[in-house]
A and B are shown apart, each in its own frame.
Chain A
Amino acid sequence: MRRYNITRSINTPRGAMHHIALIGALLCAICLGGCEKALDLPEEKEFISENINYGSKLLEPIIGRTNLMGQFNSDNSSLPLTFEIVNARYGDGRPVTDLFEVRPTYVWIDAYDGEEASLEEIEAKRRLEDRPLFEVRESGQFILWASTTNELIGPRPTDSSNLVQDIRHFDLKVSNSGGEVYLADFQLVPWRERPYFPYNDINPYTGEPAPDPIDPRNPNKQDYIRPRLSGVVGANSNNFLVSNNERKDVVVYIRPFEGGNGHNLRFKFMANDSTFINPDEFNETNWNELVHGFNTEKTEEYVQYDVAYPIPLVNIQTPYTNGGSASVNIEYSRRGFGGGLIYASFGLDFNIYRPGDWEIVFHFKNELPKFEDE
């Protein structure tokens, strides 16, 4: 009786085993090894679209503050993309180099939230880094850092001309591992520095005082920053004080002053005779929470703080800001007819971009506010 005998298989003719082995090896070679190459399949690579673009190729940043610009549309190219500014030149072909000068500038390393209890705490959340004045980041957004000044980067001509030889042009190389795309002929036309906001007292082209909106050709008149006024009554006229194009009972100056420690901010209240009103007159004002400042110093002429610039530091809502701007409100009260308290206030939403010693002066040009009770 024959049985299945596995050992017998070893005794089969060599040729047969040889053939089987050969076929097996052949199959394995075909199937497992060179298969994918032999099939000539397309290689998978990252996608980069020919249609990537920007909302606008004209960039108009303001010198002296951090600008984040550019509406990049990747058209679903594989992210992240690498951006490189190439071929920076003026319209007449001269190379542009001033944009890429490296200067220290503040970058944030932690989130400012408005609850910091000291300047050191604020400064711990940012640090100075050496950055080119103008660069593009991974998101395709362009950055003009706050370290720029009118001297480092020449702003657009003061005569508001827009000649091609004055415009900085550059191309952008966008790439990922799937390829690269060039976007040509970006234009960079910076505005000159405006150290503060509101800036309606400055001509943005020249930096000179802005003309009066009612009488623009009169060189003896200019426009002023106007405060917010609510219930402030003139001491003489007994009328509500107003500040508009026609009548300016109160104007504001935002100006540097001498003698500070380099990061002071002062509030002053100037009377019509150019003397200063004692801040204590504004008896309802919460001086300690007026701005995010420290070491409040109150004299008869001013209230002064140690602050961190720019003001506000970050575009968020805090007790000191309305989001994008710092917001101050100076309040006082007096007795009205019948003995009830009447509240009055005035204030300003402002930004200051350039570090230094700044004072904000509320100038009561025509008459003092009325502090007396009725």
Chain B
Amino acid sequence: MNNLTNNTFNMKTIHVIFACVAFLVTGYVQAQTNVTVTGNVIDENRQPLGGVTVLVGKPPRALGTTDENGNFRFTVPANAPLVFRIIGYQQASQNTGSGRTNLRVQMAPDASALEEVVIRGYQKRSKELSTGSSFSLTAKDLPDVPTANIESLLQGRVPGMNIQLNTGAPGFRGSTQIRGLSTVSMTGSGDQSFLQPTSPLYVIDGIPMDADRATEYGFQQQGPGMSPLSLIPQEDIASIEILKDAQATSLYGSMAAYGVIIITTKRGNSPIPRVRYTHNSFVRTPPKLRETLGGNLERQLKLQQIYGNALDYFDIWRISQTGFLSDSLNAYWNNSTNWQDYYYRSRYNQSHNLHIDGGDQLFNYKANLGYFTDQGIIENTGFTRYNANLRMEYQPADRRFQIIGAAFAQMGKQSIGDGVGMLQTGIAENGLSSTLLPPPSFYQAGGSHSSALSTDNDNATRLIRSNLEANYMFIEGLRASTSLSYEFESKTEDTFTPAVANNQFARVYSYNGRTTQLYNRNSLNYSTSLNDSHNLFINFFNEFRIAGRQSSVSRQERSPNDQLQGPIGFDGYYSRGGGLLDDYTDERSASFAFAASYDFQKKYVVDLSYRLDGSSANGFENLYARNPAIGLRWNFDKEAFFENSEWLDYGALRMSWGVNIIPTGTLERIYGRFDITGNYNGQQGIGLDFDQIPNPDLKPKTNTQYNLGLDFSLFNGKIEVIYDTYYKKVENELFEQLLPNTTGFNKLFSNGAGIANYGHELFLMMRPLPLSSDFSLSFSLTGAYNKDVLLTLPEHYGGQFIRWEFDQNEHLQHVILRVGGSTLANYLRINDGVFPTDADVPVDPVTGLRYQTNGVAFAGGDPMLRDLNGDYILDGNDYRRTGNSQPLFTGGASIMLTYKNFNFNLNGSITGKRTILNNALAQRLGLMGNPFGNRAVVPLNDVDMWRQAGDVATYPYAYDYRRYGYIQPFRFDQNLWAEDGSYFKINNIVIGYMFDRDWISRWGLANLRVYVSGENLHTFSRYSGPNPENVTNMGRDVSSGYPVPRTYNLGLSVEF
């Protein structure tokens, strides 16, 4: 009882009272007998608190720290008072009197969250002195939800970081953007067009890592394409810090232009070795699939459609030519096959994680062994991860010298069937087959179906990374450190397509790639203080990196049979491969950075930093990219007028400016590409490749960012606010200009595009309940408003550029860039509804003809597509800029509620105001276009569709198949499909129970916690498609790709 009420006391009172209590209760001073004290430290939410330093005696002497579950076990002199300290919490103390050897300590948060540590330029700095904008999360902020990709757990948690889980494919990552749009480069087309990924730089335990590695070449890349982030188990993560503004990121250089995410893995921290085992058993279920009319219903509907819309006897005659419409007694046509059922399924998965650690500050070690599997809700896909992460630290007692070693061994195995991973469009296509067709069997050796199910695909990414870090303090304040890391990643993909799936000839495909990175960082930093008022910190470091990549592909066609899966016996004429792919890289880079920080009484802080980045990939004109930054901070709570303030815990105002330069001028773009072209006069000729014109004046891309922030906390941490506003300017964006053929070249890479992003970010945390309550509640809200504006385009475009799309699916959903507007808008036909009757179709007063398209006049039930140019003909001119594919608002909400041993955690995320093109609905309605075809039919009762003359409807008549090809009522390039993609998603809910320690100790357990959790539970949205998040970053619905599953999990964490 005491320790609960004590929490409300200030530190001094605690000291006094404990001293008294200790004295009174014990009554006598025991002789120097030692007792073993065990105990458990919990935080204000009754969550175990690890890393708490336990001290004993007077003056206090450190014994060690609590482990990850807040447990400790020390041998101390009897009756000695124990003191518990950890940054961010008020000091607590307990006495070991009267044989109390099992203690329970609850720590109260220190109002000043500013004593947290942040990492800047690989150096730990007090958050109180940081001028940049950043956001931190610790392991306990991450919900207990099994996931392959830790990014998904951050969704909605960090203001300004927009994470969209736009694929449910296991092992792949969604899209992550910090502070809006940073590029206008797009690749791919149609559904599969997407923005060049601009992911933040990930720094894992001090080693930078490129998270876009896998997706650099788009969805259709070769090789496994596994996200390197998928290889990090969430159980091994200690903290995550997200750096947002240029002051924070500029020290990380060019790669950090899109933000930095610093992940720190756990380290050993338990005097007695401890073993923790975490297990999750989870079921992933596919979302609601498309409703389909099966069997005879399908036949009846198709016949009705033909009878109702036939124009002449030919249609009726055609029924007799179409087996599955007329020959219903034929067993071959008399089926009701649920095709989707063959592809989508619920799957049971598990994960196991064993975490062993031990040691103290002198020497500690950690090992994390994990297994995670996610078999994927689409048949023949899946992801499995094995990891072994090891780490040790040695620091002699004088703390002058420290050495840290770590090794990570990770392996991800993946199967993508015959798809391309992130998108499994082949599956969706097969799922649309007519239900009247017989189910798959050996007899029905259908190509695409067999291909989807029997293609044997095996991807593996194996990653080994070792880090070694040492630092030494020469004199007080001057510390040198060096860090070395080598990473080797091997990527293989083996695909065997059996004969049945490939026109009766088996095929063997093999990809083999590797990437390596040798990384070295040396730094020298010095901190000094003058009169305790003037504090100076100087940090100088350099980084060297050698990155290599090499991959090759071979494809053997027509191997002898399905049993012999290579490598001998194939048709050499059709087979290909063996050479290097053009992603070959051998890059050297060197960087030099200098940072200085000065503060006056921790009240006024000035940060200056400058970094030079040089890379062998840059041209000589811009060999070094220069990244300067300035930051200012005013801790106004330390001013005299707040000195006696009871309500203000801390308050600070931050301002920063910084620049990140990203070289885009590869050697090829600057100097051109030269090919061996043939002979001239007996000499080998080497000529310029005419695809692109070399541009020696190419400038590097420049990100300039201004940030203004305000942090404060009120009423002892009951309200905590972080507010930032920023202006980010991207200039000299690389722009691929297509050239007229008279130039002799196809394209020119030039600068000239620019984007501005500006917005506001708010983090609000409330802990409304008093600490004395049995309940503890913390409620946090994050919100970010970001608006992007296209600033410039290359001059000769005159302010507008249209990226035309002519993909094989005829989606024709073009993208338009117009200066002054939101950067990425759609260029579509404008739909004004449906013509209720024929008489509503306008007539050209000059020609007397009705409004028409493809030579056919519109009629009642046809889409009212606006004739923008006024010529009474719908053609390629009738397009208009509409919508904005980027969300204006992103954010989330999180509730953490604890009652005694129960805890409840809910996280939600919000995305607001973006345009989504509902291609799923377009496709669904378009299924009715050909009743003679072998596609399924869907019920349309729920669709507000025109059915008879006079109906005022949203969607045009779907059954008029004779005019379908001309009118194309469900053409994708109309804004009928443009919907508001705002949603609120319940990302996850966790309900956990921690067993009483006394009760479980009889089984020798130190800790036992069980929990149930669910992920992706519900999405509230007005969007009429399947999932407003399952869209590309250009806002196209890709639910035909890999749908995002729902997860139900039962988990257990036990500690010995």
B723 CB contacts on chain A under 8 angstroms: 27
B653 at the A interface (CB under 8 A): yes
Contact flag A16-B850 (CB < 8 Å), given A31-B760, A42-B820, A47-B798 = no
Partner of A23, one of B653, B792, B821, B880: B653
Partner of A139, one of B641, B799, B871: B871
In the complex, how many angstroms separate the beta carbon of B641 from the nearest chain A beta carbon?
5
Q: Which of B651, B756, B847 has the most CB of A within 10 A?
A: B847
Cα distance A322–B795 in the bound complex, in angstroms: 51
Cα distance A137–B872 in the bound complex, in angstroms: 11
Q: Is the interface of A mostly helix, strand, loop or mixed?
A: loop
B718 CB contacts on chain A under 8 angstroms: 4
Contact with B along A329-361 (1 / 0, CB 8 A): 000000000000000000000000000000000
B620 at the A interface (CB under 8 A): no
Cα distance A112–B857 in the bound complex, in angstroms: 12
Q: Which of B5, B800, B872 has the most CB of A within 10 A?
A: B800
Binds B, one of A73-81, A199-207, A248-256: A73-81
A316 at the B interface (CB under 8 A): yes
B1020 CB contacts on chain A under 8 angstroms: none
Once the chains bind, are B648 and A16 in contact (CB under 8 Å)?
yes
Binds A, one of B22-30, B708-716, B1040-1048: B708-716
Once the chains bind, are B715 and A6 in contact (CB under 8 Å)?
yes
A86 at the B interface (CB under 8 A): no
Once the chains bind, are A141 and B647 in contact (CB under 8 Å)?
no
B636 CB contacts on chain A under 8 angstroms: 19, 23
Task: Name the CB-closest residue of A to B876.
Answer: A76
Contact flag A41-B847 (CB < 8 Å), given A3-B8, A4-B716, A16-B642 = no
User: Which residues, 726 to 772 on B, are CB-close (under 8 Å) to A?
Assistant: 727, 756, 758, 760, 770
A25 at the B interface (CB under 8 A): no
User: Which residues, 163 to 212 on A, are CB-close (under 8 Å) to B?
Assistant: none
In the complex, how many angstroms separate the beta carbon of B711 from the nearest chain A beta carbon?
12
Interface residues of A, count at CB 8 A: 57
Once the chains bind, are B791 and A41 in contact (CB under 8 Å)?
yes
Task: Name the CB-closest residue of B to A14.
Answer: B641
Once the chains bind, are A138 and B715 in contact (CB under 8 Å)?
no
In the complex, how many angstroms separate the beta carbon of B846 from the nearest chain A beta carbon?
5
Cα distance A12–B637 in the bound complex, in angstroms: 13
Contact flag A110-B839 (CB < 8 Å), given A13-B641, A27-B710 = yes
B512 at the A interface (CB under 8 A): no
Once the chains bind, are A12 and B646 in contact (CB under 8 Å)?
yes
Once the chains bind, are B843 and A111 in contact (CB under 8 Å)?
yes
B470 CB contacts on chain A under 8 angstroms: none
A47 CB contacts on chain B under 8 angstroms: 798-800, 818
User: Which residues, 22 to 76 on A, are CB-close (under 8 Å) to B?
Assistant: 23, 27, 30-31, 35-36, 39, 41-45, 47, 49-50, 66, 68, 72, 74, 76
Once the chains bind, are A78 and B880 in contact (CB under 8 Å)?
yes
Cα distance A42–B802 in the bound complex, in angstroms: 19
In the complex, how many angstroms separate the beta carbon of A5 from the nearest chain B beta carbon?
8
In the complex, how many angstroms separate the beta carbon of B848 from the nearest chain A beta carbon?
4
Task: Name the CB-closest residue of A to B791.
Answer: A42
In the complex, how many angstroms separate the beta carbon of A322 from the nearest chain B beta carbon?
15
Cα distance A68–B723 in the bound complex, in angstroms: 61
Once the chains bind, are B8 and A1 in contact (CB under 8 Å)?
yes
Once the chains bind, are A16 and B645 in contact (CB under 8 Å)?
yes
Once the chains bind, are A140 and B869 in contact (CB under 8 Å)?
yes
B869 CB contacts on chain A under 8 angstroms: 72, 74, 79-81, 138-140
In the complex, how many angstroms separate the beta carbon of B814 from the nearest chain A beta carbon?
10
Contact with B along A111-154 (1 / 0, CB 8 A): 11000000000000110010000000111110100000000000
Task: Name the CB-closest residue of A to B881.
Answer: A78
Once the chains bind, are B800 and A143 in contact (CB under 8 Å)?
no
B789 at the A interface (CB under 8 A): yes
Once the chains bind, are A316 and B647 in contact (CB under 8 Å)?
no
A313 at the B interface (CB under 8 A): yes
A9 CB contacts on chain B under 8 angstroms: 646-647, 714-715
B584 at the A interface (CB under 8 A): no
Once the chains bind, are A44 and B821 in contact (CB under 8 Å)?
yes
In the complex, how many angstroms separate the beta carbon of B230 from the nearest chain A beta carbon?
38
A315 CB contacts on chain B under 8 angstroms: 847-849
B800 CB contacts on chain A under 8 angstroms: 47, 49, 76
Once the chains bind, are A8 and B802 in contact (CB under 8 Å)?
no
Partner of A111, one of B653, B819, B849: B849
Once the chains bind, are A49 and B798 in contact (CB under 8 Å)?
yes
Once the chains bind, are A108 and B646 in contact (CB under 8 Å)?
no
Once the chains bind, are B818 and A44 in contact (CB under 8 Å)?
yes
Cα distance A4–B758 in the bound complex, in angstroms: 38
Task: Name the CB-closest residue of B to A18.
Answer: B641
Once the chains bind, are B848 and A111 in contact (CB under 8 Å)?
yes
Give 20 CB contacts A-B under 8 Å.
Answer: A3-B770, A6-B715, A9-B715, A27-B710, A27-B723, A30-B725, A42-B791, A42-B820, A76-B802, A78-B880, A79-B878, A81-B869, A107-B845, A108-B843, A111-B849, A126-B848, A138-B869, A141-B846, A315-B849, A316-B849
Beyond A41-B756, A42-B820, 9 extra complex contacts between A and B, CB < 8 Å: A4-B716, A9-B714, A35-B725, A35-B758, A76-B802, A78-B880, A125-B848, A139-B870, A140-B869
